[in-house]
Protein backbone atom coordinates (compact mmCIF):
# COMPACT_ATOMS: atom_id res chain seq x y z
CA UNK A 1 0.00 0.00 0.00
CA UNK A 2 1.04 3.56 -0.67
CA UNK A 3 0.73 6.26 1.97
CA UNK A 4 0.13 9.86 0.91
CA UNK A 5 0.80 12.75 3.29
CA UNK A 6 -0.46 16.28 2.70
CA UNK A 7 1.94 19.08 3.63
CA UNK A 8 0.37 22.57 3.65
CA UNK A 9 2.82 25.33 2.68
CA UNK A 10 2.76 28.99 1.64
CA UNK A 11 -0.75 30.46 1.55
CA UNK A 12 -2.75 27.66 -0.03
CA UNK A 13 -0.32 25.14 -1.56
CA UNK A 14 -0.17 21.45 -0.82
CA UNK A 15 2.97 19.38 -1.28
CA UNK A 16 2.44 15.62 -1.35
CA UNK A 17 4.68 12.95 0.17
CA UNK A 18 4.15 9.52 -1.35
CA UNK A 19 5.63 6.58 0.55
CA UNK A 20 5.86 2.88 -0.27
CA UNK A 21 6.42 0.91 2.91
CA UNK A 22 7.45 -2.27 1.08
CA UNK A 23 10.44 -0.66 -0.62
CA UNK A 24 10.97 2.18 1.84
CA UNK A 25 10.93 4.66 -1.04
CA UNK A 26 9.50 8.16 -0.76
CA UNK A 27 8.53 10.63 -3.51
CA UNK A 28 7.79 14.33 -3.11
CA UNK A 29 5.31 15.81 -5.58
CA UNK A 30 5.68 19.50 -6.42
CA UNK A 31 7.69 20.85 -3.47
CA UNK A 32 7.08 24.59 -3.29
CA UNK A 33 9.58 24.87 -0.45
CA UNK A 34 12.01 22.45 1.15
CA UNK A 35 12.05 22.76 4.93
CA UNK A 36 8.50 21.59 5.80
CA UNK A 37 8.91 18.68 3.38
CA UNK A 38 12.22 17.56 4.86
CA UNK A 39 10.77 17.88 8.36
CA UNK A 40 7.68 15.84 7.48
CA UNK A 41 9.78 13.06 5.98
CA UNK A 42 12.22 13.03 8.90
CA UNK A 43 9.39 12.89 11.43
CA UNK A 44 8.24 9.66 9.82
CA UNK A 45 11.70 8.20 9.38
CA UNK A 46 11.41 8.39 5.61
CA UNK A 47 14.24 9.11 3.18
CA UNK A 48 13.27 11.13 0.11
CA UNK A 49 14.39 9.30 -3.05
CA UNK A 50 12.57 11.23 -5.78
CA UNK A 51 10.79 14.44 -6.67
CA UNK A 52 8.08 14.48 -9.33
CA UNK A 53 7.28 17.90 -10.80
CA UNK A 54 4.08 18.52 -12.76
CA UNK A 55 5.06 21.92 -14.17
CA UNK A 56 7.58 24.71 -13.89
CA UNK A 57 5.88 27.30 -11.67
CA UNK A 58 7.93 28.36 -8.67
CA UNK A 59 5.33 27.23 -6.15
CA UNK A 60 5.82 23.69 -7.48
CA UNK A 61 9.58 23.51 -7.97
CA UNK A 62 10.94 26.03 -5.46
CA UNK A 63 12.08 23.35 -3.04
CA UNK A 64 13.78 21.14 -5.62
CA UNK A 65 17.37 22.28 -5.17
CA UNK A 66 17.41 22.27 -1.37
CA UNK A 67 15.74 18.87 -1.12
CA UNK A 68 18.18 17.43 -3.64
CA UNK A 69 21.11 18.94 -1.74
CA UNK A 70 19.87 17.37 1.48
CA UNK A 71 18.95 13.95 0.13
CA UNK A 72 20.57 13.35 -3.27
CA UNK A 73 17.15 12.53 -4.70
CA UNK A 74 16.38 12.16 -8.40
CA UNK A 75 14.16 14.90 -9.84
CA UNK A 76 11.74 14.12 -12.67
CA UNK A 77 9.68 16.65 -14.60
CA UNK A 78 8.12 17.50 -17.95
CA UNK A 79 10.49 17.39 -20.91
CA UNK A 80 8.63 20.28 -22.54
CA UNK A 81 9.56 22.51 -19.59
CA UNK A 82 13.11 21.33 -18.95
CA UNK A 83 14.43 24.73 -19.94
CA UNK A 84 12.45 26.29 -17.09
CA UNK A 85 13.27 23.70 -14.40
CA UNK A 86 17.04 23.70 -14.02
CA UNK A 87 17.14 20.96 -11.40
CA UNK A 88 15.75 18.06 -13.46
CA UNK A 89 17.65 14.79 -13.68
CA UNK A 90 15.07 13.05 -15.84
CA UNK A 91 12.52 14.39 -18.28
CA UNK A 92 9.26 12.69 -19.15
CA UNK A 93 6.29 13.10 -21.45
CA UNK A 94 3.08 11.42 -22.52
CA UNK A 95 3.14 7.67 -21.98
CA UNK A 96 6.39 7.52 -20.03
CA UNK A 97 6.52 5.73 -16.69
CA UNK A 98 7.99 6.49 -13.28
CA UNK A 99 8.05 4.13 -10.32
CA UNK A 100 7.99 4.06 -6.57
CA UNK A 101 8.84 0.54 -5.50
CA UNK A 102 6.60 -1.79 -7.50
CA UNK A 103 4.03 0.94 -8.11
CA UNK A 104 4.01 2.42 -11.61
CA UNK A 105 2.81 5.88 -12.60
CA UNK A 106 2.00 6.68 -16.21
CA UNK A 107 2.80 10.22 -17.30
CA UNK A 108 -0.12 12.09 -18.88
CA UNK A 109 0.41 15.27 -20.88
CA UNK A 110 -2.21 17.77 -19.69
CA UNK A 111 -1.18 21.15 -21.17
CA UNK A 112 -3.21 24.34 -20.72
CA UNK A 113 -2.21 25.81 -17.36
CA UNK A 114 1.36 25.63 -18.66
CA UNK A 115 2.49 24.43 -22.06
CA UNK A 116 4.17 21.27 -20.82
CA UNK A 117 2.14 20.37 -17.73
CA UNK A 118 2.03 16.65 -16.90
CA UNK A 119 0.20 14.44 -14.41
CA UNK A 120 1.30 11.20 -12.76
CA UNK A 121 -1.38 8.50 -12.82
CA UNK A 122 -0.93 5.41 -10.66
CA UNK A 123 -3.81 3.46 -12.16
CA UNK A 124 -3.19 0.38 -10.03
CA UNK A 125 -3.51 2.48 -6.89
CA UNK A 126 -6.39 4.66 -8.15
CA UNK A 127 -4.31 7.80 -7.61
CA UNK A 128 -3.44 10.77 -9.82
CA UNK A 129 -1.21 13.73 -8.99
CA UNK A 130 -2.61 16.48 -11.17
CA UNK A 131 -0.76 19.67 -10.17
CA UNK A 132 -2.73 22.72 -11.29
CA UNK A 133 -4.80 21.17 -14.10
CA UNK A 134 -7.79 19.94 -12.10
CA UNK A 135 -8.88 21.34 -8.74
CA UNK A 136 -11.75 20.42 -6.46
CA UNK A 137 -14.66 22.01 -8.37
CA UNK A 138 -12.21 23.94 -10.56
CA UNK A 139 -9.46 23.90 -13.15
CA UNK A 140 -6.23 25.79 -13.65
CA UNK A 141 -5.97 29.18 -15.28
CA UNK A 142 -5.01 29.13 -18.95
CA UNK A 143 -1.64 30.81 -18.60
CA UNK A 144 0.16 29.16 -21.54
CA UNK A 145 -2.49 27.03 -23.20
CA UNK A 146 -5.97 27.12 -24.63
CA UNK A 147 -9.51 26.35 -23.63
CA UNK A 148 -9.49 23.57 -26.23
CA UNK A 149 -6.57 21.93 -24.45
CA UNK A 150 -8.27 22.24 -21.07
CA UNK A 151 -11.52 20.86 -22.46
CA UNK A 152 -9.61 17.85 -23.77
CA UNK A 153 -7.95 17.45 -20.37
CA UNK A 154 -11.30 17.51 -18.61
CA UNK A 155 -12.73 14.87 -20.94
CA UNK A 156 -9.70 12.65 -20.47
CA UNK A 157 -9.79 12.94 -16.70
CA UNK A 158 -13.55 12.40 -16.58
CA UNK A 159 -12.99 9.05 -18.31
CA UNK A 160 -10.92 7.76 -15.37
CA UNK A 161 -12.67 5.54 -12.79
CA UNK A 162 -14.85 7.44 -10.36
CA UNK A 163 -12.84 6.15 -7.39
CA UNK A 164 -9.60 7.70 -8.66
CA UNK A 165 -8.25 9.94 -5.89
CA UNK A 166 -7.13 13.32 -7.24
CA UNK A 167 -4.25 15.05 -5.49
CA UNK A 168 -4.20 18.67 -6.63
CA UNK A 169 -1.87 21.36 -5.37
CA UNK A 170 -4.06 24.13 -3.93
CA UNK A 171 -6.86 24.74 -1.42
CA UNK A 172 -9.20 26.57 -3.80
CA UNK A 173 -12.27 24.46 -3.11
CA UNK A 174 -14.50 26.95 -1.32
CA UNK A 175 -13.97 29.73 -3.85
CA UNK A 176 -14.47 27.30 -6.72
CA UNK A 177 -17.63 25.86 -5.23
CA UNK A 178 -19.27 29.18 -4.53
CA UNK A 179 -18.55 30.32 -8.08
CA UNK A 180 -19.85 27.05 -9.49
CA UNK A 181 -23.17 27.48 -7.66
CA UNK A 182 -23.71 30.65 -9.64
CA UNK A 183 -23.34 28.65 -12.85
CA UNK A 184 -25.33 25.56 -11.81
CA UNK A 185 -27.69 26.75 -9.04
CA UNK A 186 -29.97 23.72 -9.47
CA UNK A 187 -27.20 21.14 -9.09
CA UNK A 188 -28.18 19.44 -5.84
CA UNK A 189 -24.92 17.52 -5.52
CA UNK A 190 -23.00 20.76 -5.96
CA UNK A 191 -25.05 22.60 -3.33
CA UNK A 192 -24.55 19.78 -0.85
CA UNK A 193 -20.84 19.67 -1.52
CA UNK A 194 -20.40 23.42 -1.07
CA UNK A 195 -22.23 23.27 2.26
CA UNK A 196 -19.93 20.46 3.40
CA UNK A 197 -16.86 22.39 2.25
CA UNK A 198 -17.98 25.51 4.08
CA UNK A 199 -18.34 23.50 7.27
CA UNK A 200 -14.97 21.81 6.80
CA UNK A 201 -13.17 25.10 6.20
CA UNK A 202 -14.85 26.64 9.24
CA UNK A 203 -13.27 23.82 11.23
CA UNK A 204 -9.90 24.52 9.64
CA UNK A 205 -9.90 21.26 7.67
CA UNK A 206 -8.43 20.64 4.22
CA UNK A 207 -10.84 19.75 1.42
CA UNK A 208 -8.49 17.86 -0.90
CA UNK A 209 -7.81 15.29 -2.18
CA UNK A 210 -10.96 14.90 -4.21
CA UNK A 211 -12.13 12.14 -6.54
CA UNK A 212 -13.04 11.87 -10.19
CA UNK A 213 -16.56 10.86 -9.19
CA UNK A 214 -17.01 14.00 -7.12
CA UNK A 215 -15.68 16.16 -9.93
CA UNK A 216 -17.90 14.56 -12.55
CA UNK A 217 -20.89 15.52 -10.41
CA UNK A 218 -19.87 19.01 -9.26
CA UNK A 219 -17.04 20.47 -11.37
CA UNK A 220 -18.47 22.97 -13.85
CA UNK A 221 -15.35 22.80 -16.00
CA UNK A 222 -15.43 19.02 -16.28
CA UNK A 223 -19.19 19.30 -16.91
CA UNK A 224 -18.81 21.90 -19.69
CA UNK A 225 -20.49 20.64 -22.86
CA UNK A 226 -18.06 22.21 -25.31
CA UNK A 227 -14.93 24.34 -25.59
CA UNK A 228 -16.87 27.59 -25.84
CA UNK A 229 -18.70 26.93 -22.61
CA UNK A 230 -15.52 26.00 -20.76
CA UNK A 231 -13.77 29.12 -22.08
CA UNK A 232 -16.64 31.33 -20.93
CA UNK A 233 -16.67 29.77 -17.48
CA UNK A 234 -12.91 30.09 -17.12
CA UNK A 235 -13.00 33.75 -18.19
CA UNK A 236 -15.81 34.48 -15.75
CA UNK A 237 -13.93 32.78 -12.91
CA UNK A 238 -10.78 34.75 -13.73
CA UNK A 239 -12.78 37.97 -13.48
CA UNK A 240 -14.63 37.02 -10.30
- Residues with active-site annotation: 55, 57, 59-60, 113, 132, 170
Contact yes or no for 96/107 (Cβ under 8 A): yes
Q: Which 3 state secondary structure label does DSSP give 141?
A: coil
105-112: which pairs have CB atoms within 8 A and are 24 or more residues apart? 105/52, 105/129, 108/156, 109/78, 109/80, 110/153, 110/156, 110/157, 111/80, 111/144, 111/145, 111/149, 111/153, 112/139, 112/140, 112/142, 112/144, 112/145, 112/146, 112/147, 112/149, 112/150, 112/153
Amino acid sequence: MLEVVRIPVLNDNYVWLLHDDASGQTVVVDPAVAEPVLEAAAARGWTIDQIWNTHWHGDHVGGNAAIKAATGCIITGPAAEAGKIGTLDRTVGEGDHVRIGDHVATVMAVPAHTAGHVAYHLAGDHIIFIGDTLFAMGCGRLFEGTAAQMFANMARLAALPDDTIVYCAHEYTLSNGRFALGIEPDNVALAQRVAAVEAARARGEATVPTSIGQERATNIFMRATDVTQLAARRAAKDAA
